[in-house]
Structure 1
Amino acid sequence: MRIVFMGTPDFAVPSLQYLLEEKLNVVGVVTQPDRPKGRKKIFTPTPVKVEALNHHIPVLQPEKMKAPEAIQLLKQLQPDLIITAAFGQILPKEVLELPRLGCINVHASLLPKYRGGAPIHHAIKNGETITGVTIMYMAEGLDTGDMISKIEVPILENDNTGTMFGKLSIAGAELLKETLPKLVQGNIQPVAQNHEEATFASNIKREDELINWKKSSKDIFNHIRALNPFPGSYTLWNGKVLKVWESLNPSDIYSKPVNHKDDISPGTVIQMTTDGIEVRTGNGTIWLTQIQPAGKKRMDVGQFSKGSAIPEGTQFGR
């Protein structure tokens, strides 16, 4: 059996590693083109590309998978099965129909919830306590294909998108290990998705990163951890971007003093201590514990407080 694997970020690497450890015939890997990263804008290969090259597997990096030349290169690999995991591009019909065993996708949600490119971010932002991985046949729509298998993974209150990427990537590889032999043997019973129950998880845009202080403390806590470690949430402080990386769970601040003044607007700084910055929200306060002022590195508020201060009454968001 000839397998082509398509994936891009760290999430996809454990699934590729499983295929390689089992010595399955991975004849090619398709991943996104190298992109500039960091302040120096150095072109950097994707994690999947690095893993593939370490095992001397041919790598294709089409800018658009629907381009005729990309499809022709894929045809030359003569895949019996295409496996995708966070590839980052929608496959055209001609590609979906190419392998005799079809195209399957390792998707980081319990479909039909959270179809789209950022299911982990949105699940955490919405306060979900359970998510998971679904392996499905790929169809022309966005994550609309019949489901083959699922596994649930809890979201703990101290989890963020980074920790859940790690947990779900391992869960996805384990589910693939369990599912693939059954698929090859024809011993599966795919289940159609209920499209009326579908929800969507579009890629995070810049406007999605902005903290809305009018929301509840719990919603803001979930927003901050959903965007940690990428792309990060932010507010404005004296007209400049202030990244907010971590905050205390409002459920865990019983030992912290809480100011109950009702005559101040959301986004107002109540106090700053070495433990954090207390900020008014739509239904109380929240403590910010790790921030990144413009032009500086991310740091704990205790470290920030050694050289700077944010006075009581400061209004975030402007």
Structure 2
Amino acid sequence: MRVVFIGTGDFGVPSLEAIALDGRYTIPGVITQADRPFGRQKELLPSPIKRAALKLHLWVFQPENINSAGSIQQIQFLKPDIIVVCDYGQILSKEVLGIPSIGILNIHGSLLPKYRGASPIQAAIKNMDKETGVTVIWMDEGIDTGDILTSEKLLIRSNDTAESLHNRLAELGARLIIQSLEAIKAGKAPRIPQDHALASYARKIKKEEALIDWTKDKQEIDAMVRAFNPWPVAYTTLKIGEEKKILKIYKVIISHRARGNPGEVVRIDKHGVLVAAGRAGGLLLREVQLEGRKKMHAADFARGARLAIGTILGQKDED
């Protein structure tokens, strides 16, 4: 079976590797996004999928627009039986969807129809769900609306960040895509329609969504910090002298003992910086990064910044 792989981000790397190393499938080509500028030097960097494909000695195609006439012609030349798509970043046209002789599979990091869209992993953590999973669907023209081939649940741990959950789901996705290809070869691959009435969407995250509202409950803020680690990273503001600085927060521990106004620093010790939240309790800041500085333990930050008890984080200008 000839399998063309289409993807860009880290999420698809275990799946590409699993298909390539399985030995029962031919990968005539891997399609990924063009190299993008990164960092202050604007150095062109390949996508994680391109790096993985080159290590596996696979041919790589990087169209600016996968739906262009030239791209369609190139994909047709590869004569795929199946196309596997994972975390690509472009919507496939009807013409592309019709190229493979069997169909196109998509690996999605949620239990569809829940959390269709760009950020299902972050949404599951932020909404304090107990479980999530991976779904393999037969792609259609909608966004994550195709029939389900298979899915499997995964429990969300209390300390999961978007990064740790992403990595576990990516490994699960690799196992499910191999199972899916096996089912197709055996002629036993189901097509289970999604219940569209149960659909929800996890749209692309914007940086400003990561601003912490200290009046919220401690569990909500903890979930937000974990959901936005490693990107865009939850943050608050802090006045140092006459300047207002951004303080990114990477790791916190829920505390039931904090007593103070929302955002108030109520304790500083070797364990970190304890900040009061809305209702009862607060959060012990453990790992932070002040604007223009390196990431560090919150206790070291507090000492270097001469942070005082009673400081209000996230204080508005008019307060």
Return the TM-score normalized by structure 2. Answer: 0.92
Residue in 2 aligned with 1:172? 173
More divergent stretch after superposition (300-309 vs 22-31): 300-309
Q: By how many angstroms is 1:71 displaced?
A: 2.0
Work out the CA distance in 2 between the residues paired with 1:54 and 1:183: 27
Aligned to 1:209: 210
Whether the 8 Å contact between 2:86 and 2:106 is mirrored in structure 1 is: yes
Q: Give a deviation string over 1:168-194, Cα, whole Å, max 9, x none.
A: 111111111212111133212211001
Cα displacement (A) at 1:291:
0.5
Instruction: Look up the match of 1:241.
Output: 246
Deviation at 1:36, TM superposition (A): 2.1
Q: Structure 1 segments of 4 or more deviating over 4 A?
A: none
Shift of 1:27: 0.6
Q: Deviations over 1:26-74 (max 9, x none)?
A: 0111112212223433221111101111222121222232223222222
| Structure 2 partner of 1:27 | 28
Structure 1 residues 63 and 233, CA gap change in structure 2 (3 angstroms) = farther
Are 2:259 and 2:266, in contact at CA under 8 Å, matched by a contact in 1? no
Matching residue's letter, 1:291: V
Task: Give the Cα–Cα distance (whole angstroms) in 1 for the partners of residues 146 and 160 of structure 2.
Answer: 29
Q: Which amino acid aligns with 1:174?
A: R
Query: Which residue number corresponds to residue 304 of structure 2?
Result: 307
Give the structure 2 partner of residue 129 of structure 1.
Answer: 130
Cα displacement (A) at 1:272: 2.3
Question: When the two structures are aligned, how many residues end up with a matched partner?
Answer: 309
Structure 1, unmatched stretches of 5+, are none
- Superposed CA deviations along residues 256-308 of structure 1, whole A, max 9, x for unmatched, are xx2434xx3x2222232221222222223211111000111111112223422
Partner residue of 1:290 out of 262, 287, 290: 287
| TM-score, scaled to structure 1 | 0.93
What is the Cα deviation at residue 313 of structure 1?
2.4
Secondary structure at 1:315 match in 2: coil
Amino acid aligned to 1:34: D
Alpha-carbon contact 1:104-1:138 (below 8 Å) kept: yes
The question of whether the paired residues in 2 share the 8 Å contact of 1:272 and 1:309 is answered with no
- Once residues 219 and 167 of structure 1 are traced to their aligned partners in structure 2, the CA distance between those partners, rounded to angstroms, is 23
Instruction: Give RMSD over aligned pairs.
Output: 1.5
1:182-193 → structure 2 map (5 Å cutoff)? 182-193=183-194
Sequence identity percentage: 39
1:123-162 aligned at under 5 Å gives the runs 123-162=124-163
Distance 1:273 1:61, change over 3 A: same
Report what 1:4 is aligned to.
4
Query: Structure 1, residues 111-150: CA drift from partner, whole Å, max 9, x if none?
Result: 0001011110110111111111000001111100000001
Letter in 2 for 1:177: I
